[in-house]
């Protein structure tokens, strides 16, 4: 059984440059030295490098297009895929891939590290070993993130630390796998995995999805421009607590009404890592339903943002997006 490792960039393969750490192609040689393919306990694998490499803070929809295309191109030749990715936007890419390859019978695992491979005390070898050991194991039924001795459901994960080796967590669902002396598995919890159908052709739209994090005394300048931006087709509203907004802010409520009339799709998720929204629990939140705002339940910001991008990439109309949003495609929220 063979694995394709797709190296997209990130800290794991960075080396020191004049301006600081920067992506480097030298990772491939280090990888084969530390994990010789097909020898001892290391499964057979091949490596493909995305060119040019990405510093994940610079990730955009064109990179998603290239990553998806690389997986599709090699789908029949490999049993599983490991994506080496920068940590800053790893949860975004994992979420996006979870919709594209929903319920796949092949494992797609993202990993990276907080310190470069080869650096003193680097977490890269442990994360890579975990990803390799699971890549050809039982089907996870989910695109996953292997990091810090845990395998997390990709579209429920979020980066929680820029310093700790346990840099990711999935606050609203347990890990798929906890790496310990006797590994603990939680897989195929809801829908299980199926043979992957040929993914639909995707046409990603750069700058089509915006995000608005609510604050007290929110300035109209923070949101007014969305209505006049022809590229903006959808908005993730990151609201207070259980999904509440300042319902007495007439200007903001009018903005949401105008957004609905314009066909701008608005989705509401909570600023809280745990719990998600409770639509209708408070008067300050129930107004959102009246204004046509979609419920993001306990989704992460990353999962909501990328689901909108995915639906837009399928060339859906606003009405179709509203309909398809209601379907939990890849266990992206708790049911």
Binding residues, by number, are 56, 87-88
At 85, give phi and psi (nearest 5°).
Answer: -145, 150
At 211, give phi and psi (nearest 5°).
Answer: -135, 135
Catalytic residue among 8, 11, 300, 306: 11
d(C-alpha 140, C-alpha 98), whole Å:
12
The DSSP-derived string for 203-239 is: ---TT-EEEEE--TT--GGGTGGGGG-TT--EEEEEE
Binding residues for substrate: 56, 87-88
d(C-alpha 100, C-alpha 95), whole Å:
9
d(C-alpha 226, C-alpha 233), whole Å:
9
Do 131 and 82 contact (CB within 8 A), yes or no? yes
Known catalytic residue at 323: no
Q: How many CA atoms lie within 13 A of 210 on its CB side?
A: 20
Coil, strand or helix at 53: strand
Which of 91, 85, 89, 132 lies closest to 111 in space, CA to CA?
85
d(C-alpha 305, C-alpha 149), whole Å:
27
The count of other CB atoms within 10 Å of the CB of residue 34 is: 14
d(C-alpha 105, C-alpha 101), whole Å:
9
DSSP bridge partners of 234: 209, 265
Do 292 and 260 contact (CB within 8 A), yes or no? yes
- Which residues are catalytically annotated? 11
């Amino acid at each position: 059984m063979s694995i394709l490792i797709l190296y997209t960039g990130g800290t794991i393969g960075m080396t020191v440059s004049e301006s600081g750490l920067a992506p480097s192609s030298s990772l491939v040689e280090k990888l084969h030295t530390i994990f010789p393919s097909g020898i001892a306990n290391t499964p057979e694998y091949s490596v493909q490098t995305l060119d040019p490499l990405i510093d994940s803070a610079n990730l955009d929809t064109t990179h998603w297009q290239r990553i998806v295309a690389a997986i599709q191109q090699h789908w029949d030749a490999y049993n599983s895929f490991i994506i080496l990715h920068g940590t800053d936007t790893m949860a975004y890419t994992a979420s996006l891939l979870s919709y594209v390859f929903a319920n796949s019978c092949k494992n797609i695992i993202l990993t990276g590290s907080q310190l470069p491979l080869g650096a003193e005390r680097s977490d890269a070898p442990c994360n890579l070993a975990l990803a390799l050991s699971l890549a050809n194991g039982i089907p996870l039924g989910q695109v996953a993130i292997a990091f810090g001795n845990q395998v997390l459901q990709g579209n429920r994960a979020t980066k929680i630390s820029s310093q700790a080796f346990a840099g990711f967590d999935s606050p609203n669902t347990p890990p798929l796998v906890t790496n310990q002396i006797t590994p603990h598995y939680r897989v195929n919890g809801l829908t299980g995995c199926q043979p992957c159908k040929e993914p639909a052709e995707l046409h990603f739209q750069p700058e089509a999805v915006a995000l608005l994090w609510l604050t007290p005394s929110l300035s109209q300048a923070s949101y007014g421009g969305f209505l006049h931006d022809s590229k903006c087709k959808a908005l993730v509203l990151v609201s207070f607590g259980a999904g509440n907004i300042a319902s007495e802010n007439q200007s903001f409520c009018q903005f949401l009404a105008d957004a609905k009339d314009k066909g701008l799709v608005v989705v509401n998720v909570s600023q809280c890592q745990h719990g998600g929204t409770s639509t209708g629990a408070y008067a300050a939140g129930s107004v959102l339903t009246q204004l046509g705002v979609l419920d993001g339940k306990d989704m992460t910001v990353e999962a909501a943002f990328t689901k909108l991008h995915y639906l837009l990439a399928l060339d859906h109309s606003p009405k179709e997006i509203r309909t398809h949003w209601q379907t939990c495609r890849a266990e992206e929220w708790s049911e």
